[in-house]
Structure 1
Amino acid sequence: MRTKLTYTLTIIIATLNLSCDSYLDLKPEDGTIREEFWKTKEDVQAAVIGIYSAMLNTPPSESDLTLAEYTFMYGELRADMVSPGAFMSDDQIDMLTSNILPSNTLTTWSQYYRIINYCNTVIDLAPSVLQNDPTLTQVKLNNFLSEALAIRAYLYFTLARSFKDVPLKLEATLSDQDNFQLPVSSQADVFKQVVADLTKAEGFAVETYNNIPETKGRITKNAINAMLADVYLWQENYEDALIAANKVINSGSFALINASPQWFNTVFARGNSTESIFELQYTTQNLNPFYSIFLQRPQYLASPLVLEGVFGVDFEDPLNKDIRGERTSLVPGTNEIYKFTGLNTEQRKALSESDTHWFIYRYADVLLMKAEALNELGQGEEALNIIENIRLKRAAIDETAQQIALDDKAGIRLYILAERSREFAFEGKRWFDVLRNARKENYSYLNILLAVALKSAPANQQQSIIAKMKDSNSHYLPINENELFTNKALVQNPFYK
């Protein structure tokens, strides 16, 4: 059943899909934005909803991909859980096999910067509406700003994890006279800006909205703190990561759902469950892209090693299964990725019902981020307790259990990483999880990444891929050649020169 808000969002998004370029284009006509649009509270709200619309959809009149598709590719293809489907493109295969060149079309970051500019436009121009519309209060304006700040932060966080050093543009592009020749900022500086944006956004954000779809589909304090915990882990700031994770946990707004036949339908097919923190809200009026890329013309399959190697198989009792594996993440035999197309563990959705959300943060993510922070702070027992609680809720089987000493930090680290592979299979997190752990303490754990690369590499390419992976610059994507052509201030990632 769809709420009134979902219907309203759908109508606004449909309208914005046709019109947003007229006032939020990357290079609008001078003066258009200020004179024609930013007058009322409703204009600000429409612009904010336009940001979410852009996150959900492909750009109008452009042959680009959705944000979810890019996040899936950047977070999965270079890891060890995806295999090529029959319709995988050459550029996707090259990314899968770490044979990436600056000419690879998938290395474009235009979709990210387009949405970042929408966020910058709200941040720069929304405050002026206070002078024009007395019904817009400072509190409400701050709520809107929190959404733009947090989404901008998330996009820059994703770019910095994918490309490392990227241009950091914090002002809206409002005129053709604006400067488009921007050098990159270091990954560390981008992360600092992300934390600054999120910290400011947390002070402005709401706890909840009027209904569940809005609370799960828009930025809240809990979504912001989930992001903060994530960024702090990348900064190896484990004390603050623990504080941010605990804010989400102590809010009392979330709970893991016990393993049952309804678990898949509740968490994934329907979404917005008690396990949900922030999900991109696809609907039957605004379908997701997953039906095509995973089922109709499959570009991606689960690796043949995933079912047994990640989720485990109990050969003595075939009915004993981790609920996250068979007919949740994948279909045995065909290795079809099922998480985004299934209705339940027996039936797929029809194409017209392909409304499964894209999951940015779920409660289990925050719990496992807390476990990671605890382990790095020397609190291994508490970290293991979190892992075991999640495994109990998911009916994880004994074959994937590990007996680890409470002070075995390296062993617990790998256990958390393995549990994350089970929990977030095909949700665009695997490569980032591997890379984050490998780069700890100045790449003291590079062997984690090399082991993943060996597992997924074709036999005839293993040595060359391992050689590449020993250069840390190879862990990030090249700047696309078109970006280098249009922005002369950019300097290519040295690995790709």
Structure 2
Amino acid sequence: MFKSKIFKVALVAIMFFTSSCDKWLYLEPEDAIVSQQFWKTKEQAEAALFGCYASLLDPDLGYQMFVWGELRADMIMPNPTASPDELEIVNGNILATNNISDWSSFYRTINFCNTLIEYAPLVQEHDPTFKTETLNTYVAEAKAIRSLMYFYLVRTFSEVPLKLTATVSDDQEFTLPKSPESEVLQQIIKDLEEAEVHAVSSYGNNMHNKGRFTKAGINALLADVYLWSEKYEETVAAANKVIASGQYGLVAGDDSWYSTVFGTGNSSESIFELQYGAQRHPYFTIIQNQRRFSAAPHVLEELYTIDYIDPEQYDIRAEGASLRADGRIWKYLGESANIARSDVAPYPNWVVYRYADVLLMKAEALAQLGQGQEALDIVKMIRDRARALPATEVGVEPDDVNGLTDYILEERAREFAFEGKRWFDVLRNSRRNNYERMDILLNMVMRSAPADRQQSIINKYRDKMSHYLPIFLFELQTNKNLEQNPFYAK
């Protein structure tokens, strides 16, 4: 089983991949271990690959995948148990000392991937059974994981150091300056396009297919990157490859939808999930045990709405799926609509991409390409599956690009509530065409920011660089080639 195997081989991989040094890109094996002891057999190369996947389960990384995508948006609200760092971000008082801007867990995974990409080819010198086809597949997976990490970083910080080689000794220079966002995105696209060529369509095992990058997983990520980069024809093409694979479909829109997609996981709708298994899911600390966040009141009442006349009519993504009526964020906490998951293993997976996401990314791109009716047809498909209430349906003309943008964005909010996507969705749609739709971002602030902080946050958000987090102070102190985001250097 993939879940058990990943942890067994990860123990081997992590022995070679970790060090006690605190420097931000200095989390690696000693060079002697890399070249002389570790990289000898195909099994060791496989262990290194699964070490890359295991590093995605780092609780800090999982926590940041959630808060980077939700905390500055409008669907969650902090409770009194929220940390000071979390409250500062909600209040728009973000400083370089805020631990939420610490990117080290992402660069740790990137260095694991860099090490595999650089050193796995050496195994063929020692192990003739390590076939080139297998090597190319492993490298493709490592490039996909690295791309996912850089995509989170570039959307959160805009400009970040672009490290593509392994750091394996003290003699290596690792204090890199930031690279422009365009350069990072270009590298991500290059890596993913190369990875797609060598990736497999199926591993012959459902858990592997959902827990490792396949061609479809790479194309789902590519569609997301293209959409962020305003490459709409490419977005549609990548999405169509996932659709044409015939491997995925929308899970039936009945009361089993939640338990199938999130309770059990690895459903026919899933494309790529982080397989937590016995590894503690960060949701339990921040949502259940400490309950640092709740769903914002408007989510149930306005986003999904409630049919008070006929309670049997409801959006399957609302009560008992995304949230509960008492404000609890339910995704990843329940086994079913009414039964809470106990705080013991196995823990729920984190769904990175699923089929509905690919469909709505395609719809968003089609809207920008002037193919509004096709976009509306996709939205209708999603809404019909979810049994969305008529009150949330919006009459939009196919040629109304702004209307389509708003409608699709709102549907994404319903479909992917609390999945770590909301802030990125709002920012992507706001910044399109040189921030032609800044109103989307500012309206969100009006709806979600604390009343006494609204005007202050709005004034800050008029500076485009405020949409990205500051470089963490520790990184600035240890890497003199880094320059602070200008908004926070004032």
TM-score by length of 1: 0.95
Mapped pair 1:293 → 2:286: yes
Instruction: Report if the CA contact (8 A) 1:371-1:386 is conserved.
Output: yes
Supply the distance in 1 between the matched residues of 2:279 and 2:170 (Cα, whole angstroms): 33
Aligned residues of 2:272 and 2:354 also touching (Cα < 8 A)? yes
Question: Take 2:234 and 2:266, find their aligned partners in 1: how far apart are those partners?
Answer: 27
Give the distance between the partners of 2:168 and 2:55, measured in 1 at CA: 18
After superposition, residues 200-219 of structure 1 pair within 5 angstroms as 200-219=194-213
Q: Please tell me whether residue 173 in structure 1 is matched to residue 167 in structure 2.
A: yes
Residue 374 of structure 1 is matched in structure 2 by 366
SS of equivalent residue, structure 1 residue 172 = coil
Instruction: Tell me the amino acid that sits aligned with residue 46 of structure 1.
Output: A
1:212 Cα deviation after fit: 0.4
Deviation at 1:5, TM superposition (A): 3.4
Maintained 8 Å contact 1:91/1:104: yes
- The correspondence for 1:311, drawn from 304, 310, 323, is 304
1:456 to 414, 432, 448: 448
SS in 2 for 1:301: strand
Contact 1:232 1:241 in 2 (8 A): yes
Partner of residue 267 from structure 1, selected from 261, 271, 275: 261
Counterparts of 1:4-19 in structure 2, within 5 Å, are 4-14=1-11, 16=13
Distance 1:261 1:147 in 2: 35
Distance in 1, Cα, partners of 2:34 & 2:195? 24
Higher mean alpha-carbon deviation, 143-152 vs 84-93, is at 84-93
What amino acid is the match of 1:48?
L
Counterpart in 2 of 1:29?
30
Q: Judging changes above 3 Å, is the alpha-carbon distance between structure 1 residues 106 and 196 closer, same or farther for their aligned structure 2 residues?
A: same
User: Which residue of structure 1 lines up, in the alignment, with residue 394 of structure 2?
Assistant: 402
Contact 2:12 2:47 in 1 (8 A): no
Partner of 1:324: 317
Deviation of the 1:87 alpha carbon: 2.1
Say which SS state the counterpart of residue 77 (structure 2) adopts: strand
- Give the alignment's Cα RMSD to 1 decimal: 1.5
Aligned residues: 485
Bigger drift between 5-14 and 145-154 goes to 5-14
Deviations 1:436-457 (A, max 9, x none): 0000000010000001111111
Q: CA deviation at 1:420?
A: 0.4
After superposition, the C-alpha distances for 1:314-338 in whole angstroms (9 at most, x for unaligned) are 12112211010111111112x1111
Q: In the aligned structure 2, how far is the partner of 1:86 from the partner of 1:327?
A: 24
Cα deviation, residue 16, structure 1:
4.6
Aligned to 2:179: 185
User: Which of 227, 236, 258 in structure 2 is aligned with 1:233?
Assistant: 227
Query: Which of the residues 239, 242, 248 maps onto 1:248?
Result: 242
Q: Does the 8 A contact of 2:16 with 2:33 survive in 1? A: no
- Tell whether 2:48 aligns with 1:54: no
SS at match of 1:367: helix
Q: 1:27 & 1:487 partners in 2: Cα distance?
A: 18
**Separation in structure 2 between the aligned mates of residue 177 and residue 235 of structure 1, nearest angstrom:** 36
Q: Quick check: 1:30–1:176 contact (8 Å CA) kept in 2?
A: no
Using the TM superposition, give the Cα deviation of residue 353 of structure 1 relative to its aligned residue in structure 2, in angstroms: 4.0
Question: Could you say what secondary structure the match of 1:42 adopts?
Answer: helix
- Worse-superposed segment, 150-159 or 80-89: 80-89
> How far does residue 18 in structure 1 lie from its aligned partner after superposition?
6.0
Question: What per-residue deviation string (whole Å, max 9, x for no partner) do you get for residues 80-112 of structure 1?
Answer: 001112321000111122211001111111001
1:214-260 deviation digits (Å, cap 9, x = unpaired): 10000100000001101111111101111000000111000001211
Q: CA deviation at 1:6?
A: 3.1
Aligned partner letter, 2:303: V
What is the 5 A alignment of 1:413-452? 413-452=405-444
Which amino acid in the other structure matches residue 377 of structure 2? N
Deviation at 1:55, TM superposition (A): 0.4
Q: Partner of 1:61 in structure 2?
A: none
Corresponding position of 1:124? 118
Label 1:307 to 1:478 Cα distance change in 2 as closer, same or farther (>3 A).
Answer: same
**Aligned partner (choices 69, 72, 77) of residue 78 of structure 1:** 72
Residues 122, 148 of structure 1: 8 Å contact kept = yes
Cα-to-partner distance string for 1:181-201 (whole Å, 9 max, x where unaligned): 211000111000000000010
Change (3 A) 1:288 1:434: same
Helix, strand or coil: the match of 1:35?
Answer: helix
Paired letter, 1:21:
T
Q: Distance in 2 between matches of 1:447 and 1:13?
A: 46
The change in CA–CA distance for 1:354 and 1:468 in structure 2 (over 3 A counts) is farther
Alignment-derived partner of residue 92 in structure 2:
98
Tell me which amino acid in the other structure corresponds to 2:56: M
Q: Identity rate of aligned residues, in percent?
A: 47
Contact 1:368 1:416 in 2 (8 A): yes
Question: Which amino acid in the other structure matches residue 289 of structure 2?
Answer: Q
Q: Which ranges in structure 1 are unaligned for 5 or more consecutive residues?
A: 59-64
What secondary structure does 1:366 align onto?
Answer: helix
CA distance in structure 2 between the aligned counterparts of 1:73 and 1:412, rounded to whole angstroms: 27
- Point out the more displaced range, 293-302 or 444-453: 293-302
User: Could you tell me which of 84, 89, 110 is aligned with 2:83?
Assistant: 89
Deviation at 1:342, TM superposition (A): 0.1
The one-letter code sitting in structure 1 at the alignment partner of 2:111 is N
Seen in structure 2, the aligned counterparts of structure 1 residues 25 and 43 have a Cα distance that, compared at 3 Å, is farther
Contact 1:279/1:358 (8 A) holds in 2: yes
Q: Greater CA deviation, 246-255 or 25-34?
A: 25-34
Q: Secondary structure at the match of 1:182?
A: coil
Letter in 1 for 2:57: L
